Structure 1
């Protein structure tokens, strides 16, 4: 029963994580913290252990997703590595700050954080009309609906924002995608499918950095990681497959619903 449960959790986390570029931490962290309240066989974890275990699982989710999205040619590799310059040091800092948060407070903070991200998805993405020379990095193309897109950013801005993203993602054990996808769409004008695919590259590397820091502190439950990995791997492949076939407008609706539902659940559980 225990193994089957974690296979299911891993699959759902991998599927949603890959589909929306979230990495899966928004599913794994709440599951690890809430399941012990209803099932006696599930070990009780601290918020730090839940975050560390989640990040370790997302390494596998990231590998599976990056391979799948790489075949679809939807990852903006250059943007991804620019963002990683800031995400890596931010992730290390977030790991150490996480030790200061008690579990109940962690759930409430995480919930309000997810709600803020969900509400941001109702704003229209910034439409970039500047000339290419006005941006340090710039790309144009045609999205899956046949509409032209243009996105870009200056390197200092991208790196500075990435430090904050890395810090928050490691603090909450969500791998970076949950924050970076809305940032890429709203601030830099990324189409949702390029944003989600590129975010999985960020998830992979930030999860590696964050896992290393949590492991040094002894906050990774490796047996639980092993139980989550098979489902997460195949779930990630399924999510990437769905991402390719769903229209961008449908993807956005799914993302909003998932974020809002998770936020409300976490806030209520933290208050109770």
Structure 2
């Protein structure tokens, strides 16, 4: 039973995460907390174990999605590598800080984070689109499906943002895409499909650094973590395929509502 549940959680987490470019930790973490609250078979699911497993799962979600996006030529490698400068050390710091958080505090803070993320997802991306001068210094050009996009990603802003996202990733077991994707689109003008693909590329490497840190701290239960990997691989490939073929508005709306409901529930659990 445990294997089947973990397989399904891994698959749904990766599927939703790959379509929206968010990694899927915001789905996996509360799902495991819920299973731990209703079944003794998941009594092993402490905040530290859940975060460790979430990051391991996102390695395979990120890898499978990235391979699909490489084929579709949707990844802006220059921007992705720039964000990795801050997010990798941030992930290590966050993973180290995670050991000092108990279950109630984790539930409370994670709940608040989910509500904030859901509100970010309500922002209409088109409202922030600006005409960019391709001749302006520091501008990037990216061609996708015959259209050339121009946008600017300031180095200092990108590093500070990615450092913060990396800390949240290691601390709460999220990939960080739920923050990075809106930031890329709203702050820097990166096209939505490019932001999603680049986010998954970044999540792959951030999850590796966070997982290594959690492994050295003894937070990753390998016997359980391996249950999530097949589902994450399948879901990641399927999600990347769907992202390139279907409008994801319905899924994003469902995700918005789910994040608010789950976030509020976790806040009340933490306060109780």
User: Would you call these one fold, judging by a TM-score over 0.5?
Assistant: yes
Find the aligned partners of 1:205 and 1:36 in 2 and give their Cα distance. Answer: 28
Return the offset for 1:5.
0.9
Contact 2:141 2:148 in 1 (8 A): no
TM-score for both structures, normalised by structure 2: 0.91
Give the structure 1 partner of residue 140 of structure 2.
138
Find the aligned partners of 1:76 and 1:138 in 2 and give their Cα distance. Answer: 10
Find the aligned partners of 2:201 and 2:240 in 1 and give their Cα distance. Answer: 13
Structure 1 pair 128/183, CA: closer, same or farther in 2 (3 Å)? same
Return the offset for 1:140.
5.3
Contact 2:20 2:248 in 1 (8 A): no
- In the TM superposition, 1:119-268 aligns within 5 A as 119-125=119-125, 126-139=128-141, 149-247=149-247, 249-250=249-250, 252-268=252-268
Find the aligned partners of 1:200 and 1:7 in 2 and give their Cα distance. Answer: 21
Find the aligned partners of 1:271 and 1:93 in 2 and give their Cα distance. Answer: 26
RMSD: 2.2
SS in 2 for 1:132: coil
Higher mean C-alpha deviation, range 159-168 or range 133-142: 133-142
TM-score for both structures, normalised by structure 1: 0.91
Contact 2:66 2:201 in 1 (8 A): yes
How many residue pairs align between the two structures? 270
Give the structure 1 partner of residue 38 of structure 2.
38
Cα deviation code 1:225-256 (max 9, x no counterpart): 11011111101111111111222645653553
Find the aligned partners of 1:124 and 1:59 in 2 and give their Cα distance. Answer: 29
SS in 1 for 2:90: helix
SS in 1 for 2:140: strand
**Unaligned stretches of 5+ residues in structure 1:** none
Return the offset for 1:44.
3.0
**Unaligned stretches of 5+ residues in structure 2:** none
Find the aligned partners of 1:135 and 1:154 in 2 and give their Cα distance. Answer: 11
Runs of 4+ in structure 1 off by over 6 angstroms are: none
Find the aligned partners of 2:267 and 2:88 in 1 and give their Cα distance. Answer: 28
SS in 2 for 1:245: coil
Contact 1:86 1:166 in 2 (8 A): yes
Higher mean C-alpha deviation, range 215-224 or range 170-179: 170-179
Find the aligned partners of 1:253 and 1:141 in 2 and give their Cα distance. Answer: 28
Higher mean C-alpha deviation, range 242-251 or range 62-71: 242-251
Structure 1 pair 261/19, CA: closer, same or farther in 2 (3 Å)? farther
Find the aligned partners of 2:195 and 2:259 in 1 and give their Cα distance. Answer: 16
SS in 2 for 1:51: helix
Give the structure 2 partner of residue 14 of structure 1.
14
Contact 1:170 1:176 in 2 (8 A): no
Higher mean C-alpha deviation, range 83-92 or range 153-162: 153-162
SS in 1 for 2:188: coil
Contact 2:22 2:199 in 1 (8 A): yes
Contact 1:56 1:208 in 2 (8 A): yes
Find the aligned partners of 2:23 and 2:66 in 1 and give their Cα distance. Answer: 11
